[in-house]
Amino acid sequence: MNQSDPTSESSVPPWHALSPEEALSALGASARGLTSEEAARRLERHGPNRLPPPPPRSPWTRLLVQFHNVLIYVLLAAGLVTSALGHWVDAGVIFGVVAINAVIGFLQEGKAERAMEAVRRMLSPQALVSRDHTRVTLPAEGLVPGDVVHLQSGDRVPADLRLVWIHGLRIDEAILTGESVPVEKAIGPVARDAVLGDRRSMAYSGTLVTSGQGSGVVAGTGRDTEIGRISDLLAKVEPLTTPLLRQLAGFGRWLSVAIVALATLAFGFGTLVRDYSATEMFLAAVGLTVAAIPEGLPAIITITLAIGVQRMSQRNAIVRRLPAVETLGSVTVICSDKTGTLTRNEMTVQSIVLAGGPVEVSGSGYEPRGGFTRGGVDLRPQEDADLGEVARAAMLCNDASVRETPSGWRLDGDPTEGALVVLGMKAGLQPQPLSEQLPRTDVIPFESEHRFMATLHHDHQGRAIVYVKGAPEVLLPRCKAVRMSGADVSLDVNAWMMRVESVAGSGQRTLAIATKRVRPEQTVITFDDVDDDLCLIGIVGIIDPPREEAIEAVGRCGAAGIRVKMITGDHAATARAVAQRVGLVEPTRACTGDELNRLDPIAFESTASAVNVFARVSPEHKLMLVTALQAQGEVVAMTGDGVNDAPALKRADVGIAMGVKGTEAAKEAAEMVLADDNFATIGQAVEEGRTVYDNIRKAILFILPTNGGEALTILAAILLGRVLPVTAAQILWVNMVTAVTLALSLAFEPPENDVMRRPPRAPDQPILTPFLWWRIGLVSAVMVSVTFGLFVFEREHGASIETARTVAVNTIVMLEVFYLFATRYLNRSALNRDGLLGSRYVLISIAAVVCFQLAFTYAPPMETFFQTRPIDGAAWIRIIALSSLVLFVVELEKLLVRRFRDRGRALDRKDGGPLP
């Protein structure tokens, strides 16, 4: 046969909409497979069946990129200035901070490359293929369009296949669609516009065969597969920077311009107005620049984030990228996958419809713990013949098993069958003893063509019985009776179909269970035996139940002003049912992927914001929804566990992957991994993120007034025509010593009491609000007044310039010590036991900085390095007494602000207006 290869044409047929014969013809193939020669020609044309690696970046390029940051430029400038002054130790510290930041960024680079590599690893390493009219096992990368691949239980599908023959084939496609249960495959064509989860005639690369057998012709390899398309989508997604980094970049640019402008103005004023020499003013401008640069700020921010990472790891949230910690604190919307995230990914029977009425089943997952109730009254299966019969049939007509392991109960087999085994165990039955009482004689396995399974059993008295389970629409027409109180009564098919629809309407998957007595001597079961005269026992409703802790976490997020949206590939009815159970706002409306496709861009953005449940969506839809929400100013966290979630995880402000059941592709694309797959952990992570942001603001609010006070002190000296109160080297000493002691202690501050009762901060809200700028200005004014005042006092009372400068340096440090207490709380009073003595880190840092300053003042080497002189006790009393003023000034300001706000709230309550 002369085989041709039309697959290189630009228009690819919708393989799922073609019949097997049409697909084979379009691919220039036959059911007997390709010849080796033809396969070699196609391999040369299409290339290996693997995903191409991304173009690599050299390590040097990745390293140099880490220095492309305004704050890093500021630090480098500070290091160069310090080097020019000859202070190599201080310069080494600054350059060390730069190097640490660069190493951290270097190690975090390449996330997208690793994500795509994780996707590539999901491709099957080998495949059973028909070549030269013989079945051979080949490396999967050698597959080409037109090859015929044979599948069996346990195989990972090696390429996108158009199925041509199946026998009970079921495939787990959760990594692509998010569906909770394996999909029953069929060979008939489906609609051209069918969504991915409804293309039952296809088997997709990377998915897992859970049961049955099948054969398919390769329709796509490598990048032309569905998983390859997702990989390409992932490569095109540009990850966003975090709000904190955006704000710090803007702040760094603004600060750089302001410092250069201020130093230039000071230089011009000093030389033109005060008649300083150019050399003197150059050194003064250098001192002013060094004073204004917050050298320790990037290091403090990095350390604060790292501490947040450590705290979150203790709460089962593993952060892969430091800034993601803070970003969590600003999240306004969480887009959550359903399966395995909000739900347990463990199918559970939750209802049974018997002739005597509906029965509720408690418990969830594969742990056989739970009971039965009807109308709130407990039922005992041993005393209810119909309930006991359903449980017995569910366990016998079954090929799955559940077992207890050290890490919990585990399923072997199909999830739906596992739910039925657990149902039987809740009823007090055990699989092994029951199978010995009623051993299986024969079976009709489940196949998608007939959509039921039947088993034949014989007891030890020689009686034979058939149990059947399957789709209600298939079994009900075959039933002539229904079991009621142990007796068979006439069955109304229409009435029972209405009951089935009622159960299905609540999002539960329905399964009918029936029975039939046959002759004792019968040992083989045929389709004729189950074609009619069945007796319906009951209908079971099965669902993947939501996690109890997820319900609580959704409520906690709501209280914190965070909206939760469900985005899943599962069916709309199932999504609505889970949404109602977890407590999503307005969950009754579920928008499907088909509906999203029909929306224009404006309507799409509106729907993305208004609707909380999205079902039957594709990876592109997830990505588009995240992007649409971000376009409206939302800070979006996206959770997921499948390959289909990876592009949206990468695009989101915070991608959160499941650590236990998540794919490697999802983990590599995410900033954070939940070690326990628990949605509730996200709420704890948000709390930690908000705390980290608070502590970063506190650190900035602590560091900037110090720099402002130092810069203003030098500027005041220039304006007044006096000698500089502190040198550039002394300024560097103060900044580095206090940064690694006092400022660092703020990174360990615990959460504020109201941290999870506040609404999320606006994404465009600056780190420093106008009020905080006022606070910085106020503190800077106090610091410059006290420092410059004491310097002038010492000089006017005969102290040498070295002694006066030593007093000035110690004054700056002690001002910071007292200001540290006030900074622990942004608005609350610190004049209490907890505020003054409640943090051991603050007390340790103060003790450390006091030791440093004593060495600075009295150690002989410091006299050489920093031109210091010993000072007497009277000077220390003046320093401590006047430095304490900053604490009382800030606390007085807090008191006035609190009273003003309380008065405003009282007026709002009186007038019926809104409370802020």
Q: What DSSP string runs through 265-293? A: HHHHHHHHTS---HHHHHHHHHHHHHHHS
Give percent of the chain with pLDDT exceeding 70.
85
Q: Which of 58-67, 82-91, 823-832 has the lowest mean pLDDT?
A: 82-91
Of 292 and 35, the structure prediction assigns the larger pLDDT to 35
Of 375 and 478, the structure prediction assigns the larger pLDDT to 478
Q: Tell me, what's the pLDDT at 82?
A: 56
Mean pLDDT for all residues in the chain: 83
Q: Which of 342-346, 812-816, 866-870 has the lowest mean pLDDT?
A: 342-346
CA distance 722 to 714: 9
Task: Read off the tokens for 285.
Answer: 């401008």
Q: Tell me, what's the pLDDT at 2?
A: 45
Q: Tell me, what's the pLDDT at 120?
A: 46
Q: Which of 85-94, 229-238, 746-755, 815-824 has the lowest mean pLDDT?
A: 85-94
CA distance 284 to 791: 17
Alpha helices (H) in 598-679, listed in sequence order: 601-610, 619-631, 646-651, 664-669
- At 387, phi and psi to the nearest 5? -65, -45
**Cα–Cα distances in angstroms (integers) from residue 59 to residues 98, 144, 625, in the given order:** 18, 35, 35
CA distance 219 to 721: 83
From the CB of residue 329, how many other CB atoms can be counted at a distance below 10 Å? 26
Asked if residue 112 has pLDDT above 50, the reply is no
3-state secondary structure of 499: helix
Strands 636-640 and 654-658: parallel
What digits encode the pLDDT tens for the residues 48-65? 988 766 566 667 776 776
Mean pLDDT of 813-817: 94
156 close to 176: Cβ distance less than 8 angstroms: no
DSSP 356: T
Q: Which of 79-88, 752-761, 782-791 has the lowest mean pLDDT?
A: 79-88
Mean pLDDT of 183-202: 89
**Cα–Cα distances in angstroms (integers) from residue 654 to residues 240, 319, 331, 565, 692, in the given order:** 9, 10, 8, 15, 15
Going by C-beta distance under 8 Å and a sequence separation of 6 or more, which residues neighbour residue 457?
A: 396, 438, 439, 440, 441, 464, 465, 466, 467
Catalytic residue among 160, 224, 337, 677: 337
Asked if residue 115 has pLDDT above 50, the reply is no
Confidence of residue 111 (pLDDT cuts 50, 70, 90): very low
CA distance 316 to 676: 6
Of 478 and 8, the structure prediction assigns the larger pLDDT to 478
Residue with tokens 């997604």: 237
| Residue among 309, 196, 249, 898 nearest 615 (CA) | 196
Mean pLDDT of 423-430: 95
Asked if residue 586 has pLDDT above 80, the reply is no
Rg (CA), the chain: 36
- At 335, phi and psi to the nearest 5? -95, 110
pTM: 0.67
Residue with tokens 């007292």: 818
Confidence of residue 807 (pLDDT cuts 50, 70, 90): very high
412 close to 401: Cβ distance less than 8 angstroms: yes
**Cα–Cα distances in angstroms (integers) from residue 551 to residues 289, 670, 683, 759, in the given order:** 54, 23, 11, 20
Task: Read off the tokens for 914.
Answer: 């809104």
- At 679, phi and psi to the nearest 5? -60, -30
CA distance 141 to 124: 9
Going by C-beta distance under 8 Å and a sequence separation of 6 or more, which residues neighbour residue 602?
A: none
Please, which contacts does 91-96 make with residues 24 or more away whose CB atoms are closer than 8 Å? Answer: 93/736, 94/295, 94/736
| Residue among 180, 184, 175 nearest 214 (CA) | 184
Q: What DSSP string runs through 467-487? A: EEEE-HHHHGGGEEEEEETTE
Residue with tokens 């402008």: 261
Q: Which of 73-77, 509-513, 589-593, 702-706 has the lowest mean pLDDT?
A: 73-77
Residue with tokens 């952990």: 681
Computed from CA positions of residues 269, 274, 277, 280, in that sequence, does the dihedral angle turn out positive or negative?
Answer: negative
Q: Tell me, what's the pLDDT at 1?
A: 41
124 close to 156: Cβ distance less than 8 angstroms: yes
What digits encode the pLDDT tens for the residues 499-523? 999 998 888 889 999 999 999 999 9
**Cα–Cα distances in angstroms (integers) from residue 833 to residues 45, 156, 684, in the given order:** 77, 63, 28
Q: Tell me, what's the pLDDT at 690?
A: 87
CA distance 850 to 868: 16
Q: Tell me, what's the pLDDT at 791?
A: 93
CA distance 435 to 430: 9
**Cα–Cα distances in angstroms (integers) from residue 563 to residues 333, 566, 754, in the given order:** 5, 10, 19
| Residue among 430, 316, 220 nearest 678 (CA) | 316
Confidence of residue 122 (pLDDT cuts 50, 70, 90): very low
CA distance 701 to 301: 12
787 close to 811: Cβ distance less than 8 angstroms: yes
The verdict on whether 676 is a catalytic residue reads: no
Task: Read off the tokens for 683.
Answer: 């709420």
Provide the strand spans (E) within 414-549: 440-444, 452-458, 464-470, 479-484, 487-490, 509-518, 534-543
Computed from CA positions of residues 57, 58, 59, 62, in that sequence, does the dihedral angle turn out positive or negative?
Answer: negative
CA dihedral 186, 188, 190, 195 (to 10 degrees): 20
Q: Tell me, what's the pLDDT at 477?
A: 94
CA distance between the termini of the chain: 80
**Cα–Cα distances in angstroms (integers) from residue 721 to residues 233, 273, 724, 755, 864, in the given order:** 64, 9, 9, 48, 27
Q: Tell me, what's the pLDDT at 640?
A: 80
With 0-12 / 13-18 / 19 or more C-beta atoms within 10 angstroms meaning exposed / middle / buried, residue 30 is middle
CA distance 720 to 728: 19
Element spanning 408, H or E: strand 408-412
* Single-letter amino acid code for the residue at 520: P
Element spanning 166, H or E: strand 160-172
- At 392, phi and psi to the nearest 5? -65, -45
Going by C-beta distance under 8 Å and a sequence separation of 6 or more, which residues neighbour residue 23?
A: 13, 15, 162, 164, 217, 219
Task: Read off the tokens for 875.
Answer: 């000077």
With 0-12 / 13-18 / 19 or more C-beta atoms within 10 angstroms meaning exposed / middle / buried, residue 150 is middle
CA distance 784 to 748: 28
Task: Read off the tokens for 267.
Answer: 């230089």
DSSP lists the bridge partners of residue 614 as 567, 591
